[in-house]
Amino acid sequence: MKVLVTGASGMLGRGVAQALLERGDDVTVLQRRPSTVDTRQVLGDVADAPVVARAVAGCEAVVHLAAKVDVVGPWTEYARANVDGTRVVVEAARGATVRRLVNVSSPSVAHAGRSLVGEGAGPADPERARGSYARSKALAERVALAADSPDLAVVSVRPHLVWGPGDTQLVGRIIERARTGRLPVIATGAALIDTTYVDNAVDALVAAVDADVHGEALVVSNGEPRPVGEVLRRLCEAAGVPAPTRHVPLRLALVAGAVVEGVWSVLDRRDTPPLTRFLAEQLATAHWFDQRRTRTALGWTPRVSLDEGFAALARHHAP
């Protein structure tokens, strides 16, 4: 099968492209900067229609991961990369030979700040989504799923908190903050959260290329909820940095997050802020999901447990 993977310079996109290559698919990757995947590469902006049309030509399937994943920056940047980019990918797929589109979304598109305990994939809700990233991804998911038809089967997969060796997003930021003593535990640290080891997320997205399911959203996770304090501690221990011991009440964290967001906005800073309201909510509220529909629909189960993932991360960081 000829497959286009957008966003293959990131950990997850790179893993998906490599997995498709290893099983014998003809893979093209599209991203703004070169990927380490040894295959045909198209460099450019996912919102640039001619670039995307060139990348998708002749493809039968598209796995769309390219996105602005951040907590800072103006709305226009999120809208262009995530909403406009998805719209351009959809239109290019419609105008080509593509029969399958796997849109990679986020559980945050249906998160309004309350705890999510054993829930399925609720509808994307841009009006209630928290922050520019979640709101833009909610709009993007609506664009993608609206394109589902007999000629173009669309499924939106929402991997939850993906991490693994080489991760510069979740793991990299946690390690850096822990190393400098800027990683607190919000509230008690007892809220249950689920995460996804990268190999499992890769397997799920590859399975979504083949699965006979479309027109719906599916949350992907390891299915092993753990207290957030334990997850932070295990990640820090694996990386060889001090685990957080300082606790900050949620109300204080929300106030501090709002202040930090205001300062970053006024100063137009692009570095990652130490705290935001969304981050405080994520660290203090439960969010884990019922995986039964996902596993049935994709014919997939995680092959790497969290404990095995922590061990792999420790080996990666070993001197």
Pairing of strands 216-220, 287-289: unpaired
Return the number of other C-beta atoms located less than 10 Å from residue 168's C-beta.
Answer: 11
Which tokens belong to 243?
A: 């685990």
Active site residue 133: yes
Please classify residue 228 by burial: count the beta carbons closer than 10 Å to its beta carbon, then call 0-12 exposed, 13-18 middle and 19+ buried: buried
Question: What is 206-243 written as a DSSP string?
Answer: HHHHH-S--SEEEEE--S--EEHHHHHHHHHHHHTSPP
Strands (E), the chain: 2-6, 26-31, 40-43, 61-64, 100-104, 116-119, 153-159, 162-163, 185-186, 192-193, 196-197, 216-220, 226-227, 247-248, 287-289
One of 92, 98, 133, 202 is an active-site residue; which one?
Answer: 133
- Please tell me what DSSP assigns to residue 193: E
Catalytic residues: 133
